[in-house]
């Protein structure tokens, strides 16, 4: 059953029964050397799950994801708007429709960006912020624990030892099963990792931007460091905020994120980048995929990435995201790199 059919069922009956074959076609990958397995695709609620968004559409999206074998649902304390709205909306859907399937889900949340008024909600890495934030998130989602809790970004004003001790306390309290960190630089990960290891914190994931166009985890050495030390990458923005889709093959659509200036700006789409996107689309066509399908597949081309996080504004997009094939020939990978790293006059 694809996203459109699911949506039709919801609209007709206003109820939901998961597809019995939902685990048939999804790959489940180890989070590094841990025993935890994640669906190769995670569903993220960074966008489209705020108080201004349509609740029934949100339900349809979550159902399409779960029916497609996606088990990882990615949140953060600041997702909305306003902050906390995505957690509350997902929590409502979970309570109303999916409560019986909680043990089939990996629910994640994060703390580290501004989430509520006052000095303790201002995106820190201190013990007070992290523990208070998780308590708020658990209340928002309506669960006793999350499966993975991330520190969302490093805090230069808090000693890393304090952050790591807070993460250990969170696990010891039973409020999170595993720990991840996000948006840390290579040097910051190298600083935090031995402390987490010494404290016996079940640190399993590093969540970072990673796509055909964004190679920071490779060039910095983070990807190799993760592999050598037994944790994995979860990749966010695998479609480069929509650049690696057919949306920008023929200019900038008026209803696009770039026009609405959410997280993508016109100046990012240079003439050189436009040409690269068109050429990457040709490679995708040769594989029998859309550009978005190839971009998601590329992110998952090796075991270093446990899961790639996708979003959606309607159920049909989730069905499209499921069309991945992470097997590439050496020639295809070389061609993609040749296109991406080619330099030239930006004005042409």
**Residue pLDDT, tens place only, 97-115:** 999 999 999 999 999 999 9
Phi, psi of 113 (to 5 degrees): -110, 165
pLDDT band at 241 (very low <50, low <70, confident <90, very high): confident
Whether residue 256 is predicted with pLDDT greater than 60 in this model: the reply is no
Q: Looking at the domain assignment, is residue 12 inside a domain? A: yes
Phi, psi of 179 (to 5 degrees): -120, 145
- Cα separation of 276 and 258, whole Å? 18
Q: Looking at the domain assignment, is residue 291 inside a domain? A: no
pLDDT band at 3 (very low <50, low <70, confident <90, very high): low
For the record, the structure tokens of 283 come out as: 């490679």
DSSP state of 234: E
Whether residue 248 is predicted with pLDDT greater than 90 in this model: the reply is no
Q: Looking at the domain assignment, is residue 305 inside a domain? A: yes
pLDDT of residue 242: 87
E-only strand ranges, the chain = 28-30, 37-39, 41-44, 72-74, 106-111, 146-151, 176-182, 203-209, 232-236, 305-310
Residue, of 256 and 217, whose pLDDT is higher: 217
Residue 332: Cβ-neighbour burial (10 angstroms; 0-12, 13-18, 19+) = middle
Least confident piece of the model among 292-296, 315-319, 344-348 = 344-348
Residue, of 271 and 201, whose pLDDT is higher: 201
Q: Are 200 and 172 in contact (CB under 8 A)?
A: no
Whether residue 348 is predicted with pLDDT greater than 50 in this model: the reply is no
pLDDT of residue 253: 53
Whether residue 11 is predicted with pLDDT greater than 50 in this model: the reply is no
pLDDT of residue 259: 42
Whether residue 315 is predicted with pLDDT greater than 70 in this model: the reply is yes
Q: Give which of 21, 68, 17, 18 is closest to 42, Cα–Cα.
A: 68
pLDDT of residue 174: 98
**Residue pLDDT, tens place only, 35-60:** 999 999 999 999 999 999 999 999 99
Report the CATH number that the domain containing residue 155 is assigned in CATH. Answer: 3.20.20.100
Dihedral angle at the C-alpha atoms of 234, 240, 246, 251, nearest 10 degrees?
Answer: 170
Q: Looking at the domain assignment, is residue 292 inside a domain? A: no
Q: Looking at the domain assignment, is residue 270 inside a domain? A: no
DSSP state of 114: B
pLDDT band at 14 (very low <50, low <70, confident <90, very high): confident
Residue range of the domain that includes 104: 3-242+299-324
pLDDT of residue 263: 59
Q: Model-level pTM?
A: 0.92
**How much of the chain exceeds pLDDT 70, in percent?**
89
Overall residue count recorded for the chain in this entry: 348
pLDDT band at 344 (very low <50, low <70, confident <90, very high): low
Residue 126: Cβ-neighbour burial (10 angstroms; 0-12, 13-18, 19+) = middle
pLDDT band at 270 (very low <50, low <70, confident <90, very high): confident
Phi, psi of 296 (to 5 degrees): -65, -45
Average pLDDT over residues 209-232: 97
Q: Are 304 and 227 in contact (CB under 8 A)?
A: yes
**Residue pLDDT, tens place only, 167-206:** 999 999 999 999 999 999 999 999 999 999 999 999 999 9
Whether residue 78 is predicted with pLDDT greater than 70 in this model: the reply is yes
pLDDT of residue 5: 59
Alpha carbon 5 to its chain centroid, in Å, reads 25
pLDDT band at 15 (very low <50, low <70, confident <90, very high): confident
| Contacts (Cβ under 8 Å, ≥6 apart) of 23 | 69
- Cα separation of 74 and 317, whole Å? 17
Q: Are 295 and 332 in contact (CB under 8 A)?
A: no
Which contacts (CB < 8 Å, 24+ apart) does range 278-287 have?
A: 278/249, 279/339, 280/212, 280/244, 280/336, 280/339, 280/340, 281/246, 281/249, 283/332, 283/335, 283/336, 283/339, 286/332, 287/325, 287/332
Q: Looking at the domain assignment, is residue 329 inside a domain? A: no
Least confident piece of the model among 8-12, 26-30, 264-268 = 8-12
Average pLDDT, the chain: 92
Residue, of 265 and 135, whose pLDDT is higher: 135
**Structural domain count of the chain:** 1
pLDDT band at 328 (very low <50, low <70, confident <90, very high): very high
Q: Looking at the domain assignment, is residue 171 inside a domain? A: yes
Q: Looking at the domain assignment, is residue 285 inside a domain? A: no
Whether residue 255 is predicted with pLDDT greater than 90 in this model: the reply is no
């Amino acid at each position: 059953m694809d996203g459109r059919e699911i949506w039709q069922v919801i609209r007709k009956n206003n109820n939901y029964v998961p597809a019995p074959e939902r685990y048939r076609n999804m790959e489940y990958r180890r989070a590094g050397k841990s025993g935890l397995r994640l669906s190769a695709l995670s569903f993220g609620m960074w966008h489209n799950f705020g108080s201004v968004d349509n609740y029934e559409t949100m339900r349809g999206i979550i159902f399409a994801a779960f029916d497609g074998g996606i088990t990882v649902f990615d949140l953060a304390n600041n997702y909305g708007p306003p902050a906390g709205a995505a957690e509350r909306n997902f929590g409502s859907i979970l309570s109303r429709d999916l409560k019986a399937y909680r043990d089939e889900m990996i629910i994640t949340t994060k703390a580290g960006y501004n989430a509520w008024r006052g000095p303790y909600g201002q995106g820190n890495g201190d013990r007070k912020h992290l523990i208070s934030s998780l308590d708020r998130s658990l209340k928002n989602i309506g669960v006793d624990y999350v499966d993975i809790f991330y520190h969302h970004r490093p805090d230069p004003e808090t000693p890393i030892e304090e952050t790591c001790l807070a993460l250990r306390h969170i696990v010891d309290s039973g409020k999170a099963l595993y720990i991840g960190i996000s948006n840390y630089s290579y040097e910051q990960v190298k600083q935090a990792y031995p402390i987490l290891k010494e404290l016996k914190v079940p640190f399993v994931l590093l969540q970072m931007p990673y796509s055909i166009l964004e190679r920071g985890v490779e060039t910095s050495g983070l990807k190799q460091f993760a592999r050598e030390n037994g944790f994995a990458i979860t990749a966010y923005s695998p479609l480069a905020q929509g650049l690696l889709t057919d949306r920008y093959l023929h200019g900038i659509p008026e209803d696009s994120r770039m026009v609405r200036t959410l997280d993508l700006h016109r100046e990012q789409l240079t003439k050189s980048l436009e040409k690269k996107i068109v050429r990457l689309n040709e490679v995708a066509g040769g594989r029998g995929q859309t550009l978005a399908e190839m971009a998601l597949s590329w992110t998952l081309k090796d075991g270093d990435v446990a899961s790639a996080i996708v979003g959606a504004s309607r159920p049909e997009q989730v069905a499209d995201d499921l069309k991945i094939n992470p097997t590439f020939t050496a020639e295809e990978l070389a061609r993609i790199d040749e296109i991406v790293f080619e330099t030239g006059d930006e004005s042409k």
